[in-house]
Amino acid sequence: MRAWSSYRWRGEAKAREAEVGQAGVIDIASGIQALRRDPPTGTRVLEIWSDGRVYPVLVLPGATRRQLLRGEPVTVRAYSIRGLSRPERRTWKGRLDLWLADDPAATPMEIRVQRSLADLVLTLAP
């Protein structure tokens, strides 16, 4: 499998492409989808590809809260994804916080991504 990323910062474009030969590696978007299909009840370790490298990350289920989804109250659970520090591996410096509704689709209610260059918050309108 080949993976790539690209971005533009202050007019300068950067791109990385790499062969990913390790089984079970997913990108961040695929990681969100995997958590929607199978929300963890305890901590879970994933291998993610980000900016040309593979990193171990830890998924931590968090607290629940009530929110409106299509006008109806639903329970929403928080998940935090953080770099896992291992001596022989690079540590992912990004942060991802995700709130999934407790509905059949595990609807993403809010996604927060923090990276070295930018922070992004996506919120589903009620």
pLDDT in tens, 31-51: 999 999 999 999 999 999 887
Q: What is the pLDDT of residues 46-91, one digit of tens each?
A: 999 887 788 999 999 999 999 998 889 999 999 999 999 999 999 9
d(CA 49, CA 55) in angstroms, rounded, equals 6
Tell whether the model's pLDDT for residue 110 goes beyond 90: yes
Which H or E element spans position 29?
Answer: helix 28-37
Global pTM? Answer: 0.81
Q: pLDDT tens digits, residue range 15-30?
A: 777 666 677 888 888 8
Q: What is the DSSP letter of 87?
A: T
Based on DSSP, count helices (H) and strands (E) in the chain, helices before strands.
1, 9
List the Cα angle 117/119/125 in 5-degree steps.
155
Q: What is the pLDDT of residue 64?
A: 96
Q: Where are the domains of the chain?
A: 2-6+15-123
* pLDDT on residue 11: 85
pLDDT in tens, 96-105: 999 999 999 9
What is the model's pLDDT at position 119?
A: 87
Q: Which three-class secondary structure string do you get for 39-82?
A: CCCCCEEEEEEECCEEEEEEEEEEEEEEEEECCEEEEEEEEEEE
Q: What percent of the chain has pLDDT over 70?
A: 90
